[in-house]
Structures are given as C-alpha cells and as structure tokens.
Structure 1
C-alpha cells in the first residue's frame, strides 16, 4: 500500500520545471532639466495674415518661430542624451492634431505646431516631437514653429490657442 502511494505522487510531479532564466535590468533616471524662466509661460504672437491665404481645409499661413530652452540637465555617463517635448491641450482637434481657438474670433482657423525641421507635431502625440541633443554643458534649445491651419474657408477675427508641454528624456 505504501508503494502505491509513492507511485501516485511521482505520477503527478511538477511538469513546469524551468528551462531557462530571464534577468531584467534597468535604471531609473532622475533627469530633470530646468525650463528657462522666459519659456515657462510664453506667448507666441503669430503674424496677421489675410483670410484668403486660408481658403481651404489644410491651408497654412503665418509661420512663427519659437524655442524652448532647458538648462541644468544632468550630462553624466548615465544621463539622458536627448530631450523632447510633448504638447497637450484640452482644446485641440484629435483628427488634425491642431490647437483649436479658444476665442470666438476667426472661424475655421486652428494653430498647428511644427518641429524645427518643419515636420508636423500632433498635439496629444508625444512621439511626434523631435528629440534634441543635450550639450556637454547640460543645455538644449528645442526649436519649433507655430502657424495658422485652416479647417475650412477662414473667417476674420482673432485666434487664441493654448497648450501645455512636458519634457521627455531619451
């Protein structure tokens, strides 16, 4: 009877014996660049344009350069080498990724953001901001452009939009 019991436990032995080992490694980075005071709260003034330059959906006009400067970035051997910016807003068009106007002025006119290389940034899509190298002094300047973006034939009036930005590190 005892022999039968021993055979029964052996018949149900653990069949999930390991065939290998996985090791997971990583690090947590305390990277925190400081945004320059002048760039923490900034107004970018786009030039006045004629409504006829924004006749149809997708038309753009009035491109204006701006930059976000960061300093004090850790630049040691284990530090992030690049910094990028993701933009968000409660007032944006998820189809075009453009900022919608918060004023009752110009109709069918949004604001589109561009990277320094003129590639389109879709608001709400953090992956679309071009990463910029952090220099040996721990600083970086992230160049951008803003421009009017037509969603239809533009009407005259003011355009006001806003966005917040978050730094990401690579």
Structure 2
C-alpha cells in the first residue's frame, strides 16, 4: 500500500528529471581560459608619489578644454623578473571612482576649492590617459637589471569657467605586464 501511494510522486519526479537531460543541440559552446604565470612581479620603489602642480593664473585656463601647469612624475620599479620567459613591459593603470567619465580626468576633491578644473594625466608622448581605462597608459620596457621607470605627466584641465582655489586629486595605480 505504501508503494502505491509513492508511485505518483516517483512518476512526477521522473517527468521533471527529463528536462535536466534535454537535448544539447544549439545550447552548447566553449569557454577558453588564458593567462600567464610569472616568476616575479615588480616591486614599486615609489609607492606614494606626490606631484606638486605649479600655481597657474585663472586666465591660463580661460576656456573649457584649456590646459596649463604641466608637471612630470614617474613610478619607479625594481626587482622585475627579466628572464627569457618573463614579461618584458610594464605599465601603470590609474583608477579612482571620483573621476569625470566624460573627460577621463581626475576631479578636484578639495571642498571649497577651485571650480571648473580637473587634473589630466598624460603619457610622455602627450597622449591622454583616461582614468579607469588601462588601455590608455603606455608601457615601458623592463631593463636587463630588472628596473623600470614609468614616466607620466599631469596638468590642469578646464571643464568650465575656472575659479581660484586649491586643487587636490588622487589616484591609485595597478601594474600590468606584457
């Protein structure tokens, strides 16, 4: 009698289970994973870089899109693996949640600071670096001694009419290897 009461339940479960083994035509594919195993990543020699942009006149940033006050800075690395099977190039990807998605620049975070101005990052060839876009940062070749210096530039960028005041911005960076 117990078997007769459980038979409808077993049949219902059996019908549901057929969906788990449905024909796979048109619903299959491939997942490919790639990566690299590296012997050693670089050590950042200059962990915290302070870039002091020069004081500029409001008039130097007279219209939206104007730039002024270029300053060079570098991220110095040591202990990079540099053998035949290791990565040969390194770049720094800049990131910050407080950035202007339209310009890719760092916004001024100083409360009651200068208005209408951002900090723009550049590669040394003058090409723009968009914050949160690693593809825009140029790489450098790691030296045979395992050291590398990644040079960059920063400057003021006017987004609107600029008012005087302090400008502060910051960014973290992450190294990427090629």
Interval of TM-score (by shorter of Structure 1 and Structure 2): 0.7 to 0.9
Asked if 1:120 is matched to 2:120, the reply is no
* 1:43 matched residue in structure 2: 50
Stretches of structure 2 that go unaligned for 5 or more consecutive residues are 1-24, 26-31
Asked if 1:79 is matched to 2:102, the reply is no
**Contact preservation (8 Å) 1:116, 1:142:** no
**Contact preservation (8 Å) 1:56, 1:152:** yes
Q: Structure 1-normalised TM-score?
A: 0.82
1:132 and 1:81 map into 2 onto residues whose CA distance is: 8
Asked if 1:61 is matched to 2:65, the reply is no
- CA RMSD in angstroms comes to 1.7
Indicate the SS of the match to 1:53: helix
Please report how far the alpha carbon of residue 131 of structure 1 lies from its aligned counterpart in structure 2 after TM superposition. Answer: 0.8
Asked if 1:148 is matched to 2:156, the reply is yes
**Contact preservation (8 Å) 2:49, 2:75:** no
2:136 and 2:74 map into 1 onto residues whose CA distance is: 16
Stretches of structure 1 that go unaligned for 5 or more consecutive residues are 1-15, 17-22
Query: What whole-Å deviation, never above 9, does each CA across 1:113-135 have from its counterpart, x for those lacking one?
Result: 00111111000100111010001
